[in-house]
Amino acid sequence: MVTIRIRNLRLRTYIGFNEEEMKKRQDVVVNVRFSYKADEAAETDDVKYAVNYRTITKEIIALVEDGRFMLLERLAADVLELVMQHEPISSAEVEVDKPHALRFSDSVSASLRAERSNA
């Protein structure tokens, strides 16, 4: 198994349920970690056997920036579902931070994990 990490993907989206939050985009930081069996990719050095993390990143960007979310939990769940749609991925973890969500705090985050039952 190999673990791929997409770190500190800084995006803007509509997130929150207060009237002001619903009117303007806010910063979010997305971190994704996923694992898949990469024996063939490592042995052959052939991209056709690898999970394309660039494709996944583009899908995450589109989901987040085109979406509207009331809760961090929902945003994290949607990103996790998107990542797990890629069949070779056996497990994934997503963390979404909302910087400056609370006074005196750097951020608030929500984390979720998933694993295929046949992994």
pLDDT in tens, 65-119: 999 999 999 999 999 999 999 999 999 999 999 998 888 888 899 999 999 986 5
pLDDT-derived band at 19 (thresholds 50, 70, 90) equals: confident
> Rounded to 10 degrees, what is the CA torsion of 84, 61, 103, 113?
10
Closest CA to 12 of 56, 66, 59: 66
Q: What is the pLDDT of residue 119?
A: 52
Question: CA 64 from chain center: how many Å?
Answer: 9
Helix axes 53-66, 72-84, angle to 10 degrees: 150
Residue 18, pLDDT above cutoff 90: no
* pTM above threshold 0.85: yes
Distance of CA 7 to the CA centre of its chain: 9
Mean pLDDT score, 16-36: 91
Please state which CATH class domain 2-115 belongs to: alpha beta
What type of residue is 1? M
Structural domain spans, the chain = 2-115
